[in-house]
Structure 1
């Protein structure tokens, strides 16, 4: 019963803020603008991984200064310290047909 009340309050808060919280792995916080496509700009060279975790399989690399398409969403997963910041935020990108996740502190979005 308590869990249902907490979930209901969380969903109501998300509705009031105009934000949809999607449950699953990786966790996603999505804004109403998420239907748009963004571009992520790599501030440092980052590894594109198959999941939101540093242990995820490396699929490709996004070099410093390169851009990749992105769905304008924030994803949360494994914690890391990259580009001088501790975070759990990840960015989903697609580069040359490869889609995966990069650490969010080393990319600028939207760019």
Structure 2
């Protein structure tokens, strides 16, 4: 019962913050939500993956200083350590027609 209460609280908090929670699989935005358009800039070279996990297939690379379009949402998935920070936050990006996820600690995305 306690697990359901904690999970429910986390989902509610994410909804209030406008984020989507994902558990290591392909991230899906909440139905009926129109995401704004942002630009994500790589602070370090990052791999664009097919899911929010470091074991996700590498689709492309976003080099340091390059930008990619992003829906201004955070996604949560597998844990990683990158750019000196351990996190579970991922950013969805599209670059040259390739859409995937990059580690969130190594990209700058305007709020």
What TM-score bracket applies, with the shorter chain setting the length? 0.7 to 0.9
Q: Pairwise mapping of residues 32-71 of structure 1 onto structure 2 (< 5 A)?
A: 35-71=35-71
- Structure with more of its chain in strand, by fraction: 1
Gaps of 5+ in 1: none
CA offset at residue 10 of structure 1? 3.3
The 1:15/1:82 distance shift into structure 2, 3 A limit, reads: closer
Q: What is the DSSP-based 3-state SS (H/G/I as helix, E as strand, rest coil) of the residue aligned with 2:5?
A: helix
TM-score, with normalisation over the residues of structure 2?
A: 0.76
CA offset at residue 6 of structure 1? 3.0
TM-score, with normalisation over the residues of structure 1?
A: 0.76
Give the equivalent residue in structure 1 for 2:100.
Answer: 100
Q: What is the DSSP-based 3-state SS (H/G/I as helix, E as strand, rest coil) of the residue aligned with 1:86?
A: strand
- 2: CA distance, partners of 1:15 / 1:87: 16
> Mean Cα displacement is larger for which, 97-106 or 9-18?
9-18
Provide, for residues 77-100 of structure 1, a one-character-per-residue CA deviation record: whole Å limited to 9, x for no partner.
000000000000000000000000
Provide, for residues 34-89 of structure 1, a one-character-per-residue CA deviation record: whole Å limited to 9, x for no partner.
62100000000000000000010000000000000000000000000000000000
Q: What is the DSSP-based 3-state SS (H/G/I as helix, E as strand, rest coil) of the residue aligned with 1:10?
A: helix
- 2: CA distance, partners of 1:23 / 1:95: 22
Larger radius of gyration: 1
Query: After TM superposition, which residue ranges in structure 1, 4 or more long, deviate above 6 angstroms?
Result: none
